[in-house]
Amino acid sequence: MYISRSIEILVGLFVAVGFVALFFLSMQVSNLSSINGDSGYNIKGHFSNIGSLKVRAPVSMAGVNIGRVTAIEFDTQSFEAIVTMTIESQYNGLPSDSSASILTAGLLGEQYVGLEAGGEDESLKEGSKLELTQSALVLEQIIGQFLFSSGSKEEN
């Protein structure tokens, strides 16, 4: 069977275009370009309620993404959730008394961890524990409290 050179070139082109498409999908469509290895340090925070926070949710400070949630565990002693966050190593000067709160992006958006800088000179290191944490707002509880308080006002 004789195979002309142009067929080989076309097949080569086809394979090349296929790989360009894969490259496009991984770089432009997926998050591959924003993952830079495992370079970073882990910090932990204990929350009494994490709402619907998921692993891989962003960790942000002043609105800038500085890391990701890498693990969520349940502490059987204190009955709290332990959230492990990996902070990119370029942000290594965060004060050790920074506080973490679980916030929601928009009204229906995903939950993420927002860090608030403290005033301590010491900075957070691998394995540090965040002392000040604020749980996720659970909508049902807020509505419940609102109804309860408006009900007690009418009684007075």
Partner 1 sequence: MMDLLQRLGVTSLSMLERLGRGSVFFLNILLSIPSVLVRPRLLFAQMYSVGVLSFSLIVISGLFVGMVLALQGFYTLSDFGAEGMLGVMVAASLVRELGPVVAALLFAGRAGSALTAEIGLMKATEQLSGMEMMAVDPVARIIAPRFLAGLLSMPLLATLFSAIGVLGGYFIGVGLLGIDEGGYWSQMQAKIDFSEDILNGLIKSVVFGLVVTWIAVFEGYDAIPTSEGVSRATTQTVVHSAFAVLLLDFILTALMFGDN
**What residue ranges bind partner 1 (CB under 8 A)?**
1, 3, 7-8, 10-11, 13-15, 17-19, 21-22, 24-26, 28-35, 56, 58, 108
Q: Which is nearer to partner 1, 22 or 143 (CB)?
A: 22
Q: Is 51 left (phi over 0), alpha (psi -120 to 50) or beta?
A: left
Smallest gap from Cβ 2 to partner 1, in A, equals 9
51 phi, psi to nearest 5 deg:
60, -125
Smallest gap from Cβ 105 to partner 1, in A, equals 10
Contact 112, 102 (CB under 8 A): yes
Smallest gap from Cβ 103 to partner 1, in A, equals 16
Smallest gap from Cβ 109 to partner 1, in A, equals 9
Q: Which is nearer to partner 1, 62 or 107 (CB)?
A: 107
Q: Which is nearer to partner 1, 29 or 121 (CB)?
A: 29
**In Å, what is the CA distance from 55 to each residue of 19, 67, 145?**
30, 12, 29
Contact 124, 98 (CB under 8 A): yes
